[in-house]
Structures are given as structure tokens and as C-alpha cells.
Amino acid sequence: MNSNRTKVYALVILGVVLLFRAQTLFNQYLLGPISDREAGVQELKQELVVQKRMQEKIGELTKENNLWLKKSLPKRPGMAATLYQNWLAKSVDSAGFKNSQVTPAGVFEKNDVTAKLSYGVIGTTTFEGLRKLLLTLECTPLLHRVTEMQIKKQGNEYEDELNISMNVEALILDSASDREELVSAAEQKKAKTDIEKRLAKDSVPESPFLVKRNKPKSAGNKRKKDTPPAKAPEPKPVDYSDKIVQVGTILSSTESEVWIVNEKTKAQSILVKGQEFDFYGVKGSIQSIEADGVILEIDGVSYHWAIAESIKQRQKLPNAN
């Protein structure tokens, strides 16, 4: 009896050991490799996603690089300088500039990748002529930009011509093609159409930066009436300072300017540093002219007057002390 019980116990123990061993082998040789393969598949999927994104990014950069190469001036600096100067001079004339000059300043910052050409442009034109030239530079598919511009009003307040002085830079990429033309006929036609559309859409009757008044009429020899006219009651004072809006600044190494428009009377003014003003009872002086607006002094207090805001919206600056 004891012998049979011992055999049963031995068989049970042996069965448990074999079952545990079988489970270990199952996990080691079947479940383990399956889990490893699934993890490997997930890693491969992630790698494929990353590779796809990289390929898309490379495609975008290649497309952008090809566009830059197409907009670059021709590879040879001598050929590029001649073609661009002729094109720029023609564009200046087409914009209606008078007594204009386009002067090359040479090649700057030449390295293994790029070469920069610089030109000076001076002339006299109206506000509309200046807009047309700037639109021509913007719409023509070339790597060029205006780096500096000075605008001065010519003559008296009744004239609408401006003296323009600007610097224009154009870029040559080393890997660009060596072509005989600056811009193709199709590109020129498209640019001309874009310019005409923009001018027609944004056209204004006159420059918003010029003081435009009617010339005073002469009183002649008309005899005044002996009887004085009845004195009209004085109107109540109205604060129109919210109508005095700053529209822009022109920074210059000689004398910077701030342009102001009176939205009530449609008159425009140009002020310089140190100049005093009186806008509907707001009296003060221009302390300094910055890229984002001007610093005013009113009753001994400094204010910042930002572009596109009225003088009523000026912001008080903290006391320097």
C-alpha cells in the first residue's frame, strides 16, 4: 500500500516538473520569438515613417532649392552685373522716375556659395511711381531686395514729387545656371500682369505721406464791407486727437522722419527729431524716431507713440529716475 502511494506521489511530482519544463520551453522557443518579431515589426514601421518624412522633407528642400536657383542671377558675376543693371535701369524708367541714375557698387561678400551685387538708385518720382518700382522688384522672380531707402519731399507743399535714394542688392548662387537672359519672356509677362492687378486693386488718388492743400487764393482789390458780419457763436471744443494717426517712419543717418495723417481733414504732415507740434491741443516735441514709432515729450513726460496708432493712444513711458 505504501509502495503504491509512493509511486503515485512520484508520478505527480514528475508530472508537475514536466509541465513546468514544457511551459518554460513554450515561452522560450515560441512566445518569446513571436513577441520579439512583433517588437521588430513595430520598430521597422517607425523607421519607415521616419524615412518617409525625411524623404518628403528632402523633396521640399530640393524643390525650394531649385526655385532659388531659378531666381538667382546668372553664375558669372560680370554677365549678371550687366544684365541686372540694365534691367534695373529699365524698371526705374518704366516706373516714371526723372533724372534717375543706377550706379553699381560692385560685388560684396563673395564666397564659395554666394556673391552679392549692390546698386544705388536715385531719382525723382511721385508716390505712385515709387509704388510701381517696389512692386516690380517684388513681383519679378529674382533674389533681390531693397536694403535702404530715403524719401524726401521735393519743392513746396503743393508739389507731389519725391526725391528717392535707395540701395538694391541682388544675389548670385554658385550652383546657378549660366544663362544669357535675366528673366524669361513668360516670367516678365506674368510679373507685368501681377503688377497691373496690384496697382489697380490698391490704387489711391494721391500719396498719403504728402501735405496736399489747395493754393491760397488772392484776395485781389475787393473792398471789404463796412458792416462787420454777425459773429457766430463759438463752437464747443472737440477733442480730435484720436484722428491724428502715425503712418510710418523713415530712418536716415542724416535726418529721420515720421509721417502723420489727419483722418479728419485728410491732411498729411512730416515731422523730424526736435520739432514741436500742436495737434488739437496736444502740444509737445519729437524726442527720437525709431523703427516702430517715435518718442514724444508732452508737458515734461515721455510717451511712446506706435505706428498705426493715434496720438491719443500714446503710451506713457516709466520715469527714468
Mean pLDDT, rounded, for 172-186: 85
Q: Please give the pLDDT value at position 120.
A: 92
Q: What is the pLDDT of residues 23-45, one digit of tens each?
A: 666 666 665 666 666 777 777 77
Q: Which residue has the cell 519607415?
A: 48
| The predicted structure's pLDDT at residue 214 | 47
Mean pLDDT of the chain: 80
Answer whether residue 213 shows pLDDT above 70.
no
CA quadruple 203, 208, 211, 216: dihedral sign: positive
Assess whether pLDDT exceeds 60 at residue 220. Answer: no
- Per residue in 249-274, pLDDT tens? 888 778 888 989 888 888 888 899 99
Q: Specify the pTM.
A: 0.49
Query: pLDDT tens digits, residue range 91-123?
Result: 999 999 999 999 888 777 777 788 899 999 999
Residue 70's pLDDT band (cuts 50, 70, 90):
confident
- For residue 247, CA distances in Å to 184, 211, 267, 272 come to 37, 13, 12, 14
- Exposure string of 280-318, with b = 16+ CB inside 10 Å and e = fewer, is bebebebeebeeebbbbebeeebbbbebebbbbebeeee
Query: In the β-sheet with 161-173, what is the strand arrangement from edge to edge?
Result: 98-108, 114-126, 161-173, 144-153
pLDDT on residue 203: 57
For residues 253 and 270, what is the distance between their CA atoms, to the nearest angstrom? 17
pLDDT of residue 301: 92
Task: Determine the average pLDDT of the residues in 266-287.
Answer: 90
Q: Which of 65-74, 133-142, 295-304, 306-315 has the lowest mean pLDDT?
A: 65-74
pLDDT of 302 reads 93
Residue 125 has pLDDT above 70, yes or no: yes
72 or 204, greater pLDDT = 72
Q: Name the residue with higher pLDDT: 303 or 24.
A: 303
| 126-166 per-position pLDDT tens digit | 888 998 999 999 999 999 999 888 988 876 655 678 899 99
In the predicted structure, residue 276 carries a pLDDT above the cut 90: yes
Residue 179 cell numbers, joined: 544663362
Which band of pLDDT confidence, cut at 50, 70 and 90, is reported for residue 314? Answer: very high
Please give the share of the chain, as a percent, with pLDDT higher than 90: 24
**Rounded-to-integer distance, Cα 33 and Cα 30, Å:** 6
Provide the pLDDT for residue 255.
84
Nearest to 133 by CA among 176, 173, 162, 157: 162
- Report d(CA 92, CA 206) in Å as an integer: 20
pLDDT for the residue 202 = 65
Q: Which of 137-141, 177-181, 202-206 has the lowest mean pLDDT?
A: 202-206
Instruction: Say how far apart CA 164 and CA 100 lie, in whole Å.
Output: 9
Pairing mode, strands 244-250 and 161-173: unpaired
Report the amino acid identity of residue 301. V
Q: What are phi and psi of 253, to 5 degrees?
A: -70, -20
Res 219 pLDDT > 60: no
161 bridge partner residues = 126
Q: If you compute the radius of gyration of the chain from its CA atoms, what whole number of angstroms results? A: 38
Strand order in the sheet with 293-298: 276-279, 282-290, 293-298, 301-306, 315-316
pLDDT-based confidence at residue 182 (cuts at 50, 70, 90): confident
Q: Which amino acid is at 157?
A: E
Q: Which residues contact 206 (CB under 8 A, 6 or more apart)?
A: 127, 160, 212
Residue 261 DSSP SS3: strand
